[in-house]
Structure 1
């Protein structure tokens, strides 16, 4: 045992015995740890530098500068080498600094190699495992290296942190003054005026079960069963996302409602043939060509995005929840229609079995499998490939489910991402 670990561990034991107990079970042995030198030096873990190798102090100062100087409570995600914690603790206004461990094994290794008592011993510090909390805390700084190194236990908090960090970047496509957006909304205006308000669907299926069908690869496991259920009377209400519509039709399954929000959706995704008697719920960014070709009823709604603020003032319609993916308004529609139970199909947020979507070729609906560099935990607790935006969509869905405890939510596959707040359906889950 190193000269540093015992005093570090004893201090943690005195202040946070539950954390100390878990840290003592962490095994840093398998980590590839290297000293990396530049103008200064740092520790590299599995090829990821924990800090700058040139000037750790200056880096910590820049990181600290991103946090409000007058905030009495701050949160740091990742432990690093302690530099940011020491920098923030110099602030006299600070009364509480919460440090959230993102990788227990990495922290255990640092405790062996470096004296961390100067910040661990400060009475204003509270030490946690990030994954012990269901949600992130603000204001925060997340150490970039440990967002990459985050372990399985803390992965969901990592995903929420990254989603929050990238929020402004992700919203760049939704500038209400963008000429393409202005043009599309103008082109849709007359249709929006003529079409039904989505609010007319609210509270129309109170107490019923609703199936919300997405396009994840696991949907393929359920085509046969869904077709059989679709032929029953009565049956659950079927709501599908736009990209699931064609695969469902190809397998003889007619949904009751299709939800679409994306301006890139075409009649290839929403073929008008076979749309008779099927309701389309849409937001006005949809191509008017797609809307005019639809043969069933059309209902329009908005999200709270600034994109729809002007048109909402001109033509008031009800709003649906949006979180980046069409799955969000589809689930919100089910809840607003009065569902007591919502069962999710194909809501994978990942690429199980090395597939991207059910019923579509690799790359048809976005990036190809080969570019998937990220991961989430599946229903078996194993890592499964995904892409960054899928993790953000998953976070937003989980937040939505948490806000609606009155509804029972079920997932139908362990192959995709584990969805907090959705139990595995006992009949459909393999």
Structure 2
């Protein structure tokens, strides 16, 4: 045991014995570690440089400057080499600094190499594993290197941190003053005025089971069984997202409702030929040509997005929750219809079986599998490829589920992302 580790261990054992016990069990020896030198030095872990190799303190001061200086409490995600913690503690106004470990093995390694006692000993510091808290805490700074290096235990919190960091960037295409958005809303105005309100559907399935069907690759495992269930007299209600509609129809499965919110959805995704008696739930950003061609009833509604602020004042319609994916309003619709139990199909938020979507070719609905650079844990606890926005959608669905404990949520497959708050539907999952 190194001298640095012994010094650090004394503080950890005295202040956070449970955290210290967990750190002792971490596997730091398997990490790919290199010393990187410049004007100073740092570590490179699995090809990711942990901090600046020239001036770690200057980098930490730049990071600290992004946080509100008057805040009495701050959160740091990732432990790094301790530089940011030390800089933040220079502020006498800071009353509490919560440090969240994102990679236990990495922190154990740093403890064996460098003296971390100056910040660990400060009475204002609290230390825990990031995933010990279900939600991210504000205000925070997340060390960029450790957002890449987060381990499996802390991956879900990592995903929520990345989503929060990217929030303003992700919302850039939803500028309420965008000429394209204003034109689309204007084009949809007459349909919106004459259309039905989604509120008419609310409460219509009180206490019932609903299947919410997404387009993840795992949906392909269930076509045959869904067809058999669809033909039963007593069965759950089938709510399909727009991109799952065509694959379902091609397999003889007629959904009871279809939900669409994306301006990019065309007749290719929602062919109208078989749409008789299938209600379509939509929002005003949907393509008016698709809406006009649809043969079933149309129910309009809004999300809480600022792009609908003016319309909400002019034309009263109910709202559905949207968190980036069409699956969110489909789930919210099921809840508002009164579902007591919801089983999710194709809600993979990942690329299991090395595919992007069920019933579509690779790249038809977005980037191909070969472009996937991120991962989530699947229902077996194994890493599965995904893309960054899918991780954000997953986090938003998990938050929604946590906010609706009165509904039982089930997942139909272990192949896709593990969804916190769901159990597996044993009728479909072995």
Q: TM-score, normalised by structure 1?
A: 0.99
Q: Which residue of 1 aligns with 2:333?
A: 333
In 2, Cα distance between the equivalents of 1:366 and 1:41? 41
Q: Which residue of 2 aligns with 1:387?
A: 387
Shift of 1:7: 1.1
Residue 235 (structure 2) pairs with residue 261 (structure 1): no
In 1, Cα distance between the equivalents of 2:62 and 2:87? 10
Shift of 1:156: 0.2
SS of structure 1 residue aligned to 2:239: strand
In 2, Cα distance between the equivalents of 1:414 and 1:77? 29
Q: Which residue of 2 aligns with 1:347?
A: 347
**Unaligned residue ranges in structure 2 (runs of 5+):** none
Q: Which residue of 2 aligns with 1:300?
A: 300
Residue 9 (structure 2) pairs with residue 18 (structure 1): no
Shift of 1:262: 0.4
Shift of 1:323: 0.2
Residue 259 (structure 2) pairs with residue 234 (structure 1): no
Show the 5 A alignment for 1:359-370. 359-370=359-370
Q: Which residue of 1 aligns with 2:378?
A: 378
Residues 359-393 of structure 1: per-residue CA shift (max 9 Å, x gap): 00000000000100000000000000000000000
Shift of 1:314: 1.4
Residues 46-97 of structure 1: per-residue CA shift (max 9 Å, x gap): 1111111111111100111111111111100000000000011011111110
Q: Which residue of 2 aligns with 1:277?
A: 277
How many residues were matched structurally?
430
In 1, Cα distance between the equivalents of 2:34 and 2:252? 58
Residues 1-20 of structure 1: per-residue CA shift (max 9 Å, x gap): 21101110121011000000
Q: Which residue of 2 aligns with 1:133?
A: 133
The worse-fitting range, judged by mean Cα deviation, of 48-57 and 369-378 is: 48-57
**Unaligned residue ranges in structure 1 (runs of 5+):** none
SS of structure 2 residue aligned to 1:268: coil
In 2, Cα distance between the equivalents of 1:102 and 1:234? 48
Residue 82 (structure 2) pairs with residue 55 (structure 1): no
Residues 80-124 of structure 1: per-residue CA shift (max 9 Å, x gap): 000000011011111110000000000000001100000000001
In 2, Cα distance between the equivalents of 1:232 and 1:32? 56
SS of structure 2 residue aligned to 1:100: strand
SS of structure 2 residue aligned to 1:398: helix
Q: Which residue of 2 aligns with 1:152?
A: 152
Q: Which residue of 2 aligns with 1:100?
A: 100
Residue 175 (structure 2) pairs with residue 175 (structure 1): yes
Q: Which residue of 1 aligns with 2:309?
A: 309
In 2, Cα distance between the equivalents of 1:20 and 1:30? 19
Shift of 1:401: 0.2
In 2, Cα distance between the equivalents of 1:164 and 1:12? 30
SS of structure 2 residue aligned to 1:152: coil
In 2, Cα distance between the equivalents of 1:102 and 1:350? 22
Q: Which residue of 2 aligns with 1:207?
A: 207
